[in-house]
Structure 1
Amino acid sequence: MNPVLKSFDLTGRTALITGSSAGIGLALARGLAGAGARIVLNARNAAKLEASAEALRAEGAQVVTSAFDVTSGEAVNAAIEKIETETGPIDILINNAGMQRRNPLDQFEEAHWHEIIKTNLDSVFLVGQAVAKRMIPRKRGKIINICSVQSELGRPGIAPYAATKGALKMLTKGMAIDWGQYGIQVNGIGPGYFKTELNDALVKNAEFSAWLIGRTPSRRWGDVEDLVGAGVFLSSDASNFVNGHILYVDGGVTAQL
């Protein structure tokens, strides 16, 4: 195999992807599987998770499932221990689990604030730390945190979400700084606006879609498959000297005022 192409090969590596029963997580799972990785799908809904796993297996992917709550430290530690024991060492972690709630900030409920912080930020700390503790003795590993264009830009009605994604950008950099000495690369992917379940209401909103397409230099919504190349690159040896970087896959949104 051409040495350049070989550097993108994930054969023999195990990738855990949180929140991967649908949307961006599932698309990244499919992409990494296509590059040769063994996939561990995660979500809380075991039935939905298994259905997604079966769909990937039908395409020839090596897939196992691990249903656990990424916001519970106890559940995370137990699950990571089980994966490492029964499936094998986790070589790649993609922290993708996330949620959104839209409301003006003065009307945002305190309970919803804590919920979005736990889901979008606490989970990355908990899963990232549990996996990194096992990567450190092995002196290798790839961690990818799914950030957002909201890591850089704000929008009305989503201040708490933007706060989590801005913090996640800096957590990504902090992880890279602390763990880079152990051969671990930690980077982020910042998706723009993609057609997913999370954005379904916006996709169906003709006024918003027209505004977004006009605002995006590439003049379209993103398709989840657009993220696969970035995911494979940051998971592979091709990115061995890329650390603490946020790769925005946004059609140019962050490039233009």
Structure 2
Amino acid sequence: MADDSRIQKTDIIGSYAAIGDSFTEGVGDPGPDGSYVGWADRFAVLLADQLPAPDETAGADSVHGLFRYANLAVRGRLLDQIVEEQVPRAKELAPDLVSFCAGGNDIIRPGTDPDDLAERFERAVADLTNAVGTVMVTTGFDTRGVPVLRHMRGKIATYNVHLRAIADRYHCPVLDLWSLRSIQDRRAWDNDRLHLSPEGHTRVALRAAQVLSLETPADPDQPWPPQAQRNTFEMRRDNIQWAREYLVPWIGRRLRGESSGDEVAAKRPDLLPL
């Protein structure tokens, strides 16, 4: 079956703004300066690479200097917070492309209705498409291999169906993470099992470039290298360590009504050269 999430490459993209939560901020992909890199930063580099050089002697630095990128995403943000805080800023910046990923933190909360969530998401998409060049809609992951989120797979699938329908109505390209099989591998995920690893973020960036019909340096779905199978004792030990280090603190924050992004600001609030 053909992948209908891809669009034909038309206009050159000279500016890009990413909005969303921890996934788009880049949590799980630490950079050398202590901040996070993430798929959106990596995707921005691929977008910059597609710009024509200003002259024959200009190198990669000159090309990247023509491209501007903002990342407004903040970890822990719910859909309504993203719409309130980040969508207006994205409209102000009015870039050629906006990637919009939101709703994941809502979906994992008990009692969330994916139908209602999708209606609010659609209103934001309608608002954005009136102010920016193109809005790329991002679906949720297939969480069958994520222990703490496996039971929410049905809700995520329902939400994804809505997102695809919204994208169709507003002529938005779709970054379909559900169909990206390579991120089903454990190595695509950080130790907390909730965020992608650097390699996982890289594969998402490559898929995003494919969606816009850009040339990519590698296939995001290329097979992972073989690895030795772990025995039951090792898996049980890892699960206990993960629960102690990540699951219990995560549950504690939920019970206290706290967010990991309470004291965090957007890492790139302005459209700036890479």
Length-normalised TM-score, structure 1: 0.50
More deviation, 190-199/170-179: 190-199
- Structure 1 residue 163 corresponds to structure 2 residue 154: yes
* Structure 1 contact 80–131 (Cα < 8 Å) conserved: no
User: What amino acid does structure 2 have at the position aligned with 1:98?
Assistant: G
- Structure 1 residue 143 corresponds to structure 2 residue 136: yes
Counterpart-to-counterpart distance in 1, 2:77 and 2:42 = 22
Instruction: State the match for 2:55 in structure 1.
Output: none
User: What amino acid does structure 1 have at the position aligned with 2:28?
Assistant: G
Task: Name the SS of the counterpart of 1:35 in structure 2.
Answer: helix
C-alpha deviation, 1:157, in angstroms: 6.3
Task: Name the SS of the counterpart of 2:189 in structure 1.
Answer: coil
- Structure 1 residue 129 corresponds to structure 2 residue 105: no
Counterpart-to-counterpart distance in 1, 2:148 and 2:75 = 30
Pairwise mapping of residues 21-60 of structure 1 onto structure 2 (< 5 A)?
Answer: 21=25, 22-23=27-28, 26-36=37-47
Cα 1:10/1:148, change in 2 over 3 Å: farther
C-alpha deviation, 1:34, in angstroms: 0.5
Where structure 2 has 5 or more consecutive residues not aligned to the other structure, the ranges are: 1-7, 30-35, 49-66, 225-274
Pairwise mapping of residues 178-193 of structure 1 onto structure 2 (< 5 A)?
Answer: 178-180=169-171, 184-190=172-178, 191-193=183-185
Pairwise mapping of residues 51-90 of structure 1 onto structure 2 (< 5 A)?
Answer: 62-65=69-72, 67=74, 70-71=77-78, 73=80, 76-85=83-92, 87-89=93-95
Task: Name the SS of the counterpart of 2:86 in structure 1.
Answer: helix
Cα 1:230/1:125, change in 2 over 3 Å: farther
* Structure 1 contact 16–92 (Cα < 8 Å) conserved: yes
Counterpart-to-counterpart distance in 1, 2:190 and 2:11 = 27
- Structure 1 residue 173 corresponds to structure 2 residue 164: yes
Counterpart-to-counterpart distance in 2, 1:122 and 1:23 = 30
Q: Deviations over 1:174-201 (max 9, x none)?
A: 1133223xxx333422242422254179
Instruction: State the match for 1:223 in structure 2.
Output: 200
Task: Name the SS of the counterpart of 2:207 in structure 1.
Answer: helix
Instruction: State the match for 1:95 in structure 2.
Output: 101
1:113 to 103, 110, 117: 110
C-alpha deviation, 1:147, in angstroms: 2.2
* Structure 1 contact 71–123 (Cα < 8 Å) conserved: no
* Structure 2 contact 46–209 (Cα < 8 Å) conserved: yes
* Structure 2 contact 17–97 (Cα < 8 Å) conserved: yes
Cα 1:81/1:196, change in 2 over 3 Å: same
Task: Name the SS of the counterpart of 1:199 in structure 2.
Answer: coil
Q: Deviations over 1:104-133 (max 9, x none)?
A: xxxxxxx9423xx47x88766545531333
C-alpha deviation, 1:17, in angstroms: 3.5
Cα 1:129/1:10, change in 2 over 3 Å: farther
* Structure 2 contact 18–98 (Cα < 8 Å) conserved: yes
- Structure 1 residue 232 corresponds to structure 2 residue 218: no
Where structure 1 has 5 or more consecutive residues not aligned to the other structure, the ranges are: 1-5, 38-59, 102-110, 204-220, 240-247, 253-257
- Which has the larger helix fraction? 1
Instruction: State the match for 2:61 in structure 1.
Output: none
- Which has the larger strand fraction? 1
Counterpart-to-counterpart distance in 2, 1:223 and 1:75 = 23
C-alpha deviation, 1:168, in angstroms: 2.7
Q: Considering only CA atoms, is the larger Rg found in Structure 1 or Structure 2?
A: 2
